[in-house]
Amino acid sequence: MREKSCPPAGRTGADPASEIKGRLTAREVFLFYGFQPDRSGFLRCPFHAGDRHGSLKVYEGDRGWHCFGCGRGGSVIDFVMARFGLGFRDACRKLNEDFRLELPARRPSRAEITAWRRARRREAEARDRAAAQVRRMAGEHRFWWAVKQQFEPRTEGDLERVPPIYTEAVNRLPYLEHWLDGRLGLV
């Protein structure tokens, strides 16, 4: 089974905003900037005066936030934009720095994305070839082990008539065992 390969931060081809929204929950961001939602996710809205009952709801996961008093809401980026009076790019930059997300300052070019995808494809193909080789060698090992077991001399009389296939199995098995142990990390 192929494992899903994750690109380095900022190299998916998606814009940094999508990565920020995917990595940070609204609850994390609100807590980081000093706002403590109650157990049900409500808190007093910092954007309108006179909120006594906590009309701002912080949703679980990546669903964002919404104030039922003033109608503001959105993603974690929208919150930082409103809270600090920043533009979209500056809010993304602030979240990237504050949460140490290590996203690139610029979006990767199509050529960089294509090169990254080609490299991942080559790595996956190399893994597949190596796995196929291990399966083939393991099958060969099982075959020669069965031959050795089947033709192994059982009595002293059999020692005088050892079949050549038994000798070949005995000669091949140590090499196959050593090769498989090395590939499977048993050595």
- Three-state SS across 34-85? CCCCCCCCEECCCCCCCCCCCCEEECCCCCCEEECCCCCEECHHHHHHHHHC
Q: What is the pLDDT of residue 164?
A: 87
Quote the CA–CA distance of 58 and 66 in Å, as a whole number. 7
Beta bridge partners of 42: 57
Instruction: For residue 14, give the DSSP letter.
Output: S
AA identity, residue 118: R
Low-confidence ranges of the chain (pLDDT < 70): 1-14, 105-108, 185-187
Quote the CA–CA distance of 109 and 13 in Å, as a whole number. 8
Quote the CA–CA distance of 97 and 9 in Å, as a whole number. 14
Could you name the CATH architecture of 16-98?
Answer: Alpha-Beta Complex (3.90)
Residue with tokens 């080789």: 133
Q: Which of 155, 123, 72, 49 is nearest to 57 (CA)?
A: 72
Q: What is the pLDDT of residue 57?
A: 93
pTM of the shown model = 0.51
Quote the CA–CA distance of 186 and 35 in Å, as a whole number. 52
Quote the CA–CA distance of 119 and 110 in Å, as a whole number. 14
Q: What is the pLDDT of residue 14?
A: 58
Q: What is the pLDDT of residue 11?
A: 45
Q: What is the pLDDT of residue 163?
A: 85
